[in-house]
Each structure stands twice: as structure tokens, then as C-alpha cells.
Structure 1
Amino acid sequence: MVNLTLLLCLVLGLCFSCRAEIKPDSNNNALDLDIVHYQPEQVHLAFGESVLDIVVTWNTRDNTNESICEYSEYSDGSKLDQVVKSAQGPVRFVDGGAKKAAQFIHRVTLPQLKPDTKYSYHCGSNWGWSAIYWFHTPLNHSNWSPSFAIYGDMGVENAASLPALQRETQLGKYDAILHVGDFAYDMCHEDGAVGDEFMRQVETIAAYVPYMVCPGNHEEKYNFSNYRARFNMPGNGDSLWYSFNMGPIHFVSFSTEVYYFFNYGMKLLTKQFAWLERDLAEANLPENRAKRPWIITYGHRPMYCSDDKEYDCNGQLETYIRQGLPTLKWFGLEDLFYKHGVDVEFFAHEHFYTRLWPIYDFKVYNGSAEAPYTNPKAPIQIITGSAGCNENREPFSKVLPEWNAFHSNDYGYTRLKAHNATHLYFEQVSDDKDGKIVDSFWVIKDKHGAYM
């Protein structure tokens, strides 16, 4: 017997988010239900061409033929009186796994929003709507103090930092999240089902605050297809590299993976390096440094690390990212970042937290013995890859290098507060110790620019 409630919904046309086509079996009995899913899921936000252009992205299992976002300045949701409809509509995405599982990805940009304003919104179509969420737009100038949570390597299983980040995000603690690669372990697994589950889990963060990302090695499968389809970052339309301005900071996101997966060709590496040169040169112009003095980069694999496990990051071998391709030494990033005065570099990949002294070419360049992070003479690197995941924590080397300032392999995440043009504040939160701050420090600079 077919469920009577479902039949009633079909007859009356009331079930919009989940419709069914009844198919007779060989005896002409209506038994098989081909369920069609129109309900939005995996809602997440990102910055568009500016921090006042908010991109809303969501998925449906089947095609609704339209993508709509209704929003307004913050209310109880009873009056969402502004409507944006995507001209493109949903895009069909097929995971490259054995089943070639398909779904539809929707993107709508809410353009030119008011600064420092709270909005409520929901997304979907006339076939089904998401819950009502909210977000708070930032100020669109450099004279304010944004706050961030930064981490990599979270995963679906053992997402240790997720509960605290969910709570803190919905309390309004952060203006943006930076996820420095390695998301689900892996998005492509089970024909994309693991990626779907990760996006559902982080919806309670990413539907409330822009969730800015870069790819890690666990996103590589099928030429980063899940990463490219699911995330919409500003700039070049690819999401593998981009930059954005927020408060006194120019953020630069890039892919370390273009140095390793040459089975997809060399074009991505050469295009990214040329783009990085242009972007950093422009950001380092005196007039731009005056507006946004801090330059902060984030990419997945680190240039330096304090463990003996990684074949390409153990202090004895040169990392491709740092030094460039083997033998030729082309496309190395350490010289490029040093030349253009990058202040702070975030990495992940190693499942621990490490704060480095200011470093260039394996040498420490502290500001002074008493105040190493006051007017440092080289970039400061931070590895924050301990948000969770189902792989083991990395053990540290028995003899730590001299450039290792602090380390912890507690599960946790990093906070950044950009106070002004001269002061940044960092702290490392331990999930193992119930949110205790296990490391904190200030970076103070009277002048920004190239170190050379």
C-alpha cells in the first residue's frame, strides 16, 4: 500500500520540497516511489567582488530550474521584501565517482549591501525554501577591527573544533572564517556523499558568516572538481586563488597543490604564480599599503614544519612551495612573499599548531631579542592544521628547529583580531582543554613594505 499521507500531498499539490512519481510494478500495483528532492541544503556564504557583495550558495538534489534568495534588513523573517534571482539558474554538478552522482548547485549574489548591517535571508525556489538565516555585513573601509577564525584539516569524522566554532559564530564572534584546505576527507568519497555531509555540518557556521577557503591535497580528486563546484570565491572564477580586502588587511588565498599534481598539467602553476606576482605587487604599492597595511596569505601545505613525517617538509629537504620546482627552482614563493612584504602566512596540512619566529631562508629575523614580533624583519608563519579529521595528530621532532617559537598538537583553531594598522592579535584555542587559550601573541609594525 502506498502511504496515504504522501498520496494526499500529491493529490493536493502540497508537498513542494519532496515530490514523488508513483510507478506501477509488473502487476500494475503502484508501489515504487521515485522521490524528487527540491529542498535547499548545504547553505553557505562567501564574499563576492567586495565584502558588501555576499554570495549565497546552496544545493538541491534535483533541478528546480530557478535559484532565488529573499532577504531584508534583520527581522524575524516575516518580511523578506528584497528578492534576487539568479539569471543562470542552478548548475548541474556530477561527481566523478563510479555512480556519477548528480546534484544542482545554486548561486545568488546579494549586491551592494549596506555596511555594518544585519540581514536575514532564506534561499530556494517555489519548490522549497531553506530555514531563515542571518549575517552581518562588515564595514567597507580599513579603519575598523575585524575578527577571524582560521584553521585547516577538519573532516567529517572527528571534527573536533566544529562545536565551539558553531557556538561562537552564532554568537557573532567572527566576521569571516578562513578554512585553509582539507575539508571532508574526502569530498569525492562515496560519490560525493562525504562532501555533502561536510557541507551540511558546516552550514551552522557558513550560513551565518562568509566561509573563505583554499584547496588542500584532499581536494585533488578529479582535478579539484568538488572544491571548484561547491565553493564560490571572489575574483578569477576558479576559486583556486583569489584575494580580498577586509579592514586593514589584504588577504591572498592560493593553492599549494598546483606544485604537486602535475597530472593536470603545468598551466595552473604558471597562471597562479603570474597572478600572485601581479596581486602582491599591486597590494604593496605605497598608496595601497597606506589603505591596507597588512598583507596576509593562506595556502594549505607549509614551507617549514617541525615534524619528521612529511617527505617534503622536514628541514632537510627543500619544499617546492618555498624554493620552487626541483633543480630549476622556478616559481618559489618564499622570495616572492619576502620581496613584497607579506606580514603573516597561514598554512595547515600538518595536524598541529606551530608558531614560527620571523623567518627567511631558514634564518630567524626577529625584531629584537626582547620583542621578536615588533617590527620583524621577515614574514611570520603559522601552521594551524589541528581542527580535527580522522587521521592521527602529527608528532613533533625530538629536536625542534631554532625557528620553532611555540607548538601544540592539541585539537584547536586560531583566532585573529586586526586591531588597527599597527597591531594584530593572535591566539590559539585548545579543544582538548575546553577552549583554553594555549598561545597568544601580538604582531606590531610601525611600517609595512618589502623586507629587501
Structure 2
Amino acid sequence: MILMVGDMTYANQYRTTGGRGVPCFSCSFPDAPIRESYQPRWDGWGRFMEPLASRVTMMVTEGNHEIEPQGHGGAVTFASYLARFAVPSEESGSNTKFFYSFNAGGIHFIMLGAYVDYNRTGAQYSWLEKDLQKVDRRVTPWVVASWHTPWYNSYSSHYQEFECMRQEMEGLLYQHGVDIVFSGHVHAYERMNRVFNYTLDPCGPVYITIGDGGNIEKIDIDHADDPGKCPSPGDNQPEFGGVCHLNFTSGPAKGKFCWERQPEWSAFRESSFGHGILEVVNSTYALWTWHRNQDTYGEHSVGDQIYIVREPDKCLLQPRGVISQDCPSVGCPSSTLSSTSGVEQAAKNGRLLWTTTCMILISTVLRRSLCTRQNIWAVWWRVDRLYSL
């Protein structure tokens, strides 16, 4: 089982204030001292997580609430985060805990940093390119990438906030056939159709925003395409990197900053707290299921469910990694997302190489005594290997 957890506990302040009276969003205790780099709070979070983290392997990547600028001019950042977690950075050819990779069952996981340099001339981009080139699809046919901030997002909250990162790195992920991307940051659920450069493309990744586990800032409910809810280009400023907000150059939203209806690349979205399970059946099929937290696990508890189907041989025929608007009609699968009818039986009929179950929980753990704050992504896993059915 692979458990991905993000936005696990946090408050609202990124800076060390050392004082009282700081607003705390929906916290009911605004006079509590807020120190984002307050180490006993980090230690308390560690003790809270110890029963789980001491029994299963844990991998993490940073979010905006771990920035914690300290020192003169905020020159020191991420000190608490970097001091507390061990990840296979050196083993995966990285020299930092901000970006690294690892294998779990038939999946190659890539953890990227949205709050460190992601430019094409930078160390992270160079490392990512080398890491993707080394992936052996015979061993790990699935490649799953994860970072905190979503590139594709139709909610008003954080709309186009990390457009610069998308423009820098999307072509590289597309070129190497990354299958699925998980992000958080937006406190709601959204699953995209396969997409590349804002155009439906059956060779692109399936992007999933699963930042809906629960939080002190409430759920995000406004969509950028709702009347009067389109943010201005200056509303969503990233804590790191430049601003690359753009108007769409093609399609129904051509010349506009926001769509006037749900974008065609947005397959399903819902403002409910929830969690998801990814079941990798074999090298071709993976079942993604999203559950609302308030629903019990019964016959009708599924909020969203889809089989993600890999057809790499068809996609490899096109020039990969070039920012183009269309996937050629020749050499691309006609459908890489499928309903469960028919596909489930097809998966069972083939040789089952492994079963990897991934519980995807982008959550915020609330504690009544603290206005807590870490929003770390974490990954735990257990892989059950089966050699035949």
C-alpha cells in the first residue's frame, strides 16, 4: 500500500512573528503565539506521527508552509524541514532533499520541489532529465510525479499560480511519458483528462489535485469559470518563482484569462473533503477511486472512479516533449481513460505482475490545542507482489 499525505497540519503564517494577535484564519484562538519555526511544535508533530512513521517507510516533499524564512531578510529557509527527514536523495542522484526519486513496486516515484529553482538551466531540471532517462519501464512501467502545487487547476484559489513551473518543466514530463501527477495546495478535489499545454492530449499525464483531506482553512468552493469568480492575474502570487499568468491562445477560452465554463481538460471536480486510492493492477491498468470523507465504504460511496490505461507504444510514435497544441491522430491512443466496465475484466484476464494499492490522502490533521502548520507531502507504501492470477 502506498499512502500519500499532504497538507497534514499547518497554520497561516510563513514568517517567524514572535508575537501575539496574528490572525489565524478559522482558528478560534487568535491570541495564541504563532511562531512558524517554533521547534517544539515540530517535535509535537513528530511524536504525533511516530506510531506510523516508525513502522513503515516515509518519504516527504516540501510545501509552502515549510518555507519558514528566518534570519536577516529571511535568507534562511526550510531549516526545520531539512533537519528532520531522511530521503533517498543521494541514492537517486540528487544532492538535496527537495527533489529525489524512488521505486515502489511497479512505480517509479518522482518527488519535485515547487519552491526551489525549477528553471531549465537549474540543478533540479538537470536532475529530473537524467532521472527520467534512467527509468527502466520493464521494472517500473508506471511513472508517477508529485509536487505540492497543481499546474492544472480550475478553482479560483491558486489559479495559474505556478504557471512558470509548468512552462519550464511540462515538456520534459511529456517527453518521457509520465503517467500520473499528484498535487495538493488547492483544498478541493479535481481530476483532469489527459492534457498537455492546456490541450486535450491522450499522450499527456493524468493530473489529479487531491488537496481535500481536511484543513483549518475550509474547502475551496469557487471556480475560476463561475460568474464573477475569475481572479485577476495579480491575485495569486507564488511564494517562489516568477509570475507567468497567460491568456489562452486557442479553444473556447481564446484571448481570455479564465474559461466561461468548466475547462475541457477538467474531467471532474468537487468541493468535498475526501481521499483517493490508486490500485496499480499491472503494466497497463491502474484504478483510481476517490471517496468523500463523509461517506461510508459501501456500494454507493464512490465519488469518482476511473481506470487509467497506459498505451505507451502508440504515444512514442510522436515527437515527444515539444510544446504543441495537438497530439497527432496517427500514433496516439483513442482513449486513455476508461470507465470500469470491460476494463476490469481485461485486467484480470492478463498476467498480473503486481498489485500496488496507493492510498492518496491530501489531508490536514487538526488538533484543537494548536493552530498547527506543516503541509508536508508524505508517502508510505507496502507492495504485495503476485506472480499470476
- Give the TM-score, by structure 1 length: 0.50
Report the alpha carbon displacement of residue 434 of structure 1 after superposing the two structures with TM.
4.1
1:257 aligns with 2:115: yes
In the alignment, the residues of structure 1 paired with residue 139 and residue 37 of structure 2 have an alpha-carbon distance, to the nearest angstrom, of: 47
Contact 1:363–1:403 (8 Å) recurs in 2: yes
Q: Verify the 8 A CA contact 2:195 2:205 in the aligned structure 1.
A: yes
User: 1:281: Cα distance to partner?
Assistant: 1.6
Output the CA distance in 2 between the equivalents of 1:308 and 1:156.
21
Is structure 2 residue 44 aligned with structure 1 residue 197? yes
Contact 1:153 1:386 survives alignment (8 Å): no
Report if the CA contact (8 A) 1:259-1:269 is conserved. Answer: no
- Tell me the equivalent position of 1:445: 310
Does structure 1 retain, via aligned residues, the 8 Å contact 2:151–2:166? yes
Q: Distance in 2 between matches of 1:255 and 1:379?
A: 18
> CA separation in 2, counterparts of 1:197 and 1:430?
29
Does 1:208 pair with 2:55?
yes
**Does the 8 A contact of 1:150 with 1:413 survive in 2?**
no
CA distance in structure 2 between the partners assigned to 1:212 and 1:357 by the alignment: 27
1:239 to 2:239 alignment: no
**Structure 1 position 445, deviation (Å):** 1.8
Instruction: Provide the secondary structure at the position in 2 that maps to 1:275.
Output: helix
Residue identity matched to 1:321: M
Q: Aligned with 1:239: secondary structure?
A: coil
Partner of 1:395: 221
- Uncovered stretches (5+) of structure 2, i.e. residues with no partner: 12-33, 69-75, 227-260, 321-389
Q: CA deviation at 1:212?
A: 1.6
TM-superposed deviation, 1:311: 5.3
Between the aligned partners of 2:108 and 2:49, the Cα distance in structure 1 is: 25
Partners of 1:417 and 1:198 lie apart in 2 by 29
Question: Secondary structure at the residue paired with 1:439?
Answer: strand
Tell me the CA shift for residue 280 of structure 1. 0.8
Deviation at 1:357, TM superposition (A): 0.2
Shift of 1:269: 7.9
Give the match's secondary structure for 1:389.
coil
* Cα RMSD, aligned residues only: 2.5
1:336 to 161, 172, 185: 172
The DSSP-based 3-state class of the residue aligned with 1:279 is helix
Does the CA-based 8 Å contact 1:150-1:384 persist in structure 2?
no
Instruction: Determine if the alignment matches structure 1 residue 224 to structure 2 residue 78.
Output: yes
Asked which structure has the greater RCO (Cα within 8 Å, sep 6+), the reply is: 2
**Which of 253, 270, 273 is residue 411 of structure 1 equivalent to?**
273
Q: Secondary structure at the match of 2:122?
A: helix
Q: Is the 8 A contact 1:352 1:410 kept in 2?
A: yes
Question: How many angstroms does 1:227 deviate by?
Answer: 1.2
Percent identity reads 30
Opposite residue 300 of structure 1, the aligned amino acid is: H
Deviations 1:67-105 (A, max 9, x none): xxxxxxxxxxxxxxxxxxxxxxxxxxxxxxxxxxxxxxx
1:150 match = 4
Determine helix, strand or coil for the equivalent of 2:204. coil
Q: Give me the whole-angstrom Cα distance separating, in 1, the residues matched to 2:61 and 2:9.
A: 15
Residues 291/405 of structure 1: CA separation in 2 closer, same or farther (3 Å cut): same
* Structure 1 position 396, deviation (Å): 3.5
Do the aligned partners of 2:62 and 2:148 also contact (CA within 8 Å) in 1?
A: yes
Q: 1:259 to 1:310 in 2, by over 3 A?
A: farther
Question: Which one has a bigger Cα radius of gyration?
Answer: 1
Conserved in 2, the CA contact under 8 Å of 1:215 and 1:227? yes
Unaligned runs of 5+ in 1: 1-146, 158-186, 261-265, 324-331, 366-375
Corresponding residue number in structure 1 for 2:286: 424
* TM-score, structure 2 normalization: 0.58
Deviations 1:156-186 (A, max 9, x none): 68xxxxxxxxxxxxxxxxxxxxxxxxxxxxx
- In the alignment, is the contact (CA less than 8 A) between 1:251 and 1:295 conserved in 2? yes
Q: Secondary structure at the match of 2:203?
A: coil
Amino acid corresponding to residue 256 of structure 1 in structure 2? A
1:283-334 CA distances to partner (integer Å, 9 max, x unpaired)? 1xxxx11221111100011111011232534xxxx701101xxxxxxxx111
2:204 is the alignment partner of 1:378: yes
Q: Tell me how many residue pairs correspond in the alignment.
A: 245
**Distance across 2 between alignment mates of 1:400 and 1:447:** 29
